[in-house]
A = this chain, B = another copy of it.
């Protein structure tokens, strides 16, 4: 039995910083015995969570905070950003990750995250927003 252990990562909203986050998540998930398929799902979900934090959070510090908690049978990832939330509804353009607003697969970030993780909770906090996503370890014979 492994005790819960926690990692924290803060990345800037810029360039491909979310890729560094995804690879750190990969290391942590591998240490927690997740298989490569689950690891890839966790990475993709984290990338989308970071994009949302960059797009919708008008974060004054331009940072995304992440917490990774390895528990007995699960990895809980919390992605939070400060700043008053703004959606595209109020007419503001996508603030980060380039100028051009895009359509199509966007507007589906949370849907992608929900499909790839086992539990997902999104909540607005006093000073920003927080996404908590959980992935369970598949134990042999636990189907």
Q: At the interface, is chain A mostly helix, strand, loop or mixed? A: mixed
CB contact list, A15-37 vs B, under 8 A: 15-17, 19-20, 23-24, 27-28, 31
Report how many residues on chain A are interfacial, defined by Cβ distance under 8 Å.
19
Q: Give the shortest distance, in Å, between A81 (CB) and chain B (any CB).
A: 14
Cβ-defined contact, B31 with A20, below 8 A: yes
Chain B residues contacting A23 (CB-CB under 8 Å) are 23-24, 27
**Counting CB contacts under 8 A, is A6 at the interface?**
yes
User: A15-B31, A27-B24 are known contacts. Are A8 and B8 too (CB-CB below 8 A)?
Assistant: yes
CB contact list, A53-85 vs B, under 8 A: none
Counted per complex, copies of this chain come to: 2
Cβ-defined contact, A14 with B5, below 8 A: yes
Cβ-defined contact, B6 with A9, below 8 A: no
Chain B residues contacting A10 (CB-CB under 8 Å) are 6-9
A115 to B10, CA, bound (A): 29
**Counting CB contacts under 8 A, is A11 at the interface?**
yes
**Counting CB contacts under 8 A, is A12 at the interface?**
yes
Cβ-defined contact, A12 with B7, below 8 A: yes
Chain B residues contacting A14 (CB-CB under 8 Å) are 5
Cβ-defined contact, B12 with A5, below 8 A: yes
Chain B residues contacting A6 (CB-CB under 8 Å) are 10, 12
Cβ-defined contact, A9 with B12, below 8 A: no
